[in-house]
Amino acid sequence: MSLLVIEQILNGLQLGVTLFLLAAGLTLIFGIMGIINLAHGSLYMIGAYAGALAASATGSFLLAVPAGLLAAAASGVAVEFIVIRRLYERDHLDQVLATYGLVLFFNETVSILFGRQPLFVAIPALLSGSIEIVPGLAFSVYRLAIIAVGLSLAAGLYVLIQHTRLGMLIRAGATHRETVRALGVNIRLLYTLVFGLGALLAGFAGVMAGPLLSVQVGMGEQILIMTFVVVVVGGVGSIRGALFGAILVGVFDTMMRAFMPHIMRGLLANGSEADALSAGLASMGVYLLMAVVLLVRPQGLFPARG
Amino acid sequence: MSPPQATGARAALAIGGLLVFLLALPFAADLLDVPATTSLVTRMLIYAIAAASLNLVLGFGGMISFGHAAFYGIGGYAVGILFQHARLSEPLFGMMLGTEQFLIAMPVAIVLGGLAALVIGALALRTTGVQFIMITLAFAQMLYFLFVSLKYYGGDDGLVVRRRNVLFGLDMRDAKTFYFVVLALAAAYFAFIWRIAGSRFGMVLGAIRQNDRRVAAIGIGVYRYKLAAFVLAGMGAGLAGGLWANYARFVSPDMMHWTKSGELMVMVILGGAGTLFGPLFGAAGLITLETVLSAWTERWQFFLGPILILIILFFRGGLSGLVALFSGRNR
């Protein structure tokens, strides 16, 4: 039993890391630019599609990674340039609706170009198989690799934001936008960079998720709404909150999905109904977690300073 | 964005004209040999009720709720579930509660919509701004997953409502009869919104939208007013959902999918947020656009998305704003 728990914690950590890559971008873009971007999930989808197509065309997952990153970042910069730039001075409502329009557009474009059939990506040969991390417990190398890469990206992001000149500008832009502008910093360029960085992280999450999920239209919104839960639980605008919130939500969600069927089968006589209901309750789990956090700390667990 | 002041003679004339037009419409549709129009306008009216209820929180109250479809779906499922239990004569909560009576099922739909709004609103209104948007969206998605998992009520596939509810001796299967039932309820709901907008409650709500701190400073409980508006909106969405279940004779989790919430928001904005008839124009406009585009291409969302972006970027105030622009009225 305890081995199963360890395995599920690792699975949860892997989901959490993926959620972090999205939540970090979303919360940076909101914290610094004041933009709520529903199309963030679309950038994740674009990354996943570009990665899947590159992998199936070249047979190399190593080429899939830059393809996904490039596609997501290019789409992100284009979106910022054409639409988002006009939304900085608008209220949240306009931002929500315009980016909702973007989601409709991207989903339909992808389904026109690549159809509604999901794409599947093979796990790269180098990372396939599993290793025994504790005696008796074998765990997928690929999932371990995602956890490792995701955590190092989190560390890299920390260094970038806390210890570089660009990071200093980003932090200053979040709290004192007008002052930064008055000091002669090209804030437009800064915004485009931040948006591109967010798109890059989302695209990377998409490429990494490709071999684990089916790559299909609508995958972006599924994870976007969970990312919202992460941002609310962690605290809006806080990278630290995004990290801890993502890991908490990822582990909690995975645990609910893994252990809810056992619990419900004990309570209900009808097996198939118990399974369906436990799947539903497990999907509801993270939202209930969010409700509890809201009751205790409406600002989130790790609110941004300032 | 001022509350509607439908006191002028011109406004009264316009409302009267609209009502006459809507009353004559099914007969005109028959005369012009386009009977399907009646059904199309029924759909517009049902969505107009849903959009008007969202407008109460979004337009008048300034709360950006992205989960309004949840209450709409709950209203639909209330009618669907009550019908299923009546048809199969199965107990619900241990009692024979199933019904196919319109006058019982619809109030249940309204009350359940309001109750769901009370619970979700009580939690979500503890926050404001972007968190409120995310939380309302997340809670609606939670209910969506709950109904997907309820296999007994059709799960993902939804629930077929074989017959429309019974209302007195009316032939509800007749498109025209059902149209007039929907029209009567829509007219009543818009009258209700008009009363609210002009009342003290509506004034406080508008003041909260403009500056909630000042409202709090003069000793008015902001949270209670917001929650009351949220619950009233949930009830309106429940009404619309119950009507939809009767109209389509089918309910499914798609009724509470997040894209449905998005559609309702688009209707409110398209028509002009915070105006009395904006949601009606918005619902009619969006459904017309969908009908035209989908008759032309299956990929209509490919065009709807950019159209939406253009409207947001360049036509503020929606259709009501355009009308006001052309009639030269100062807003």
Least Cα separation, residue A51 to chain B (angstroms): 23
pLDDT value of residue A252: 92
Neighbouring C-alpha atoms within 13 Å toward the C-beta of B117: 30
Q: Scanning every residue of chain B, which has its alpha carbon at the shortest distance from the alpha carbon of A111?
A: B299
Please give the share of chain A, as a percent, with pLDDT higher than 90. 29
In this prediction, residue B247 has a pLDDT band, given cuts at 50, 70 and 90, of very high
Asked if A30 lies within 8 A of B129 by C-beta distance, the reply is no
Which tokens sit at B72?
């709409």
Residue B262 sits at the chain A interface (C-beta within 8 Å)? yes
Q: Are B275 and B6 in contact (CB under 8 A)?
A: no
Distance (Å, whole) CA B254 – CA B245: 12
Residue A296 sits at the chain B interface (C-beta within 8 Å)? no
Stretch B288-313: mean pLDDT, rounded?
Answer: 85
Distance (Å, whole) CA B101 – CA B112: 16
Residues of A in contact with B55 (CB under 8 A): none
Question: Is pLDDT larger for residue B100 or for residue A246?
Answer: A246
Region of B249 (left: φ > 0; alpha: ψ -120 to 50; beta: rest) is left
Q: Which of A42, A85, A225, A281 to mutate to probe the B interface, most B CBs <10 Å?
A: A225
Distance (Å, whole) CA A123 – CA A130: 12
B3 has a pLDDT exceeding 60: no
Residues of A in contact with B155 (CB under 8 A): 276
In this prediction, residue A258 has a pLDDT band, given cuts at 50, 70 and 90, of confident
Of A6-20, A145-159, A216-230, B148-162, minimum mean pLDDT range: B148-162
DSSP B58: I
How distant, in Å, are the alpha carbons of A56, A120, B83, B205 from that of A203?
17, 17, 47, 42
Domains of chain A are 2-296 (1.10.3470)
Q: Scanning every residue of chain B, which has its alpha carbon at the shortest distance from the alpha carbon of A103?
A: B305
Nearest-5° angle of CA A70, CA A75, CA A80?
130
Residue A130 sits at the chain B interface (C-beta within 8 Å)? no
Instruction: Report the residue from B139, B152, B266 with minimal CB separation from A97.
Output: B266
Give per-residue pLDDT as tens, B92-144.
766 667 778 888 889 999 999 999 999 999 988 988 888 888 889 888 988 99
Q: Which residues contact A285 (CB under 8 A, 6 or more apart)?
A: A252, A253, A256, A260
What rounded mean pLDDT belongs to chain B? 85
Give per-residue pLDDT as tens, B130-180.
888 888 988 898 899 888 888 788 778 888 888 887 788 777 788 888 899
Query: Beta strands A137-140 and A130-134: pairing type?
Result: antiparallel
In this prediction, residue A71 has a pLDDT band, given cuts at 50, 70 and 90, of very high
B323 has a pLDDT exceeding 70: no
A283 has a pLDDT exceeding 70: yes
Q: Are A36 and A90 in contact (CB under 8 A)?
A: no
Question: Is pLDDT larger for residue B226 or for residue A187?
Answer: B226
Q: Give the best-scoring range by mean pLDDT among B81-90, B229-238, B252-261.
A: B229-238
Instruction: Report the residue from A92, A231, A279 with minimal CB separation from B64.
Output: A92
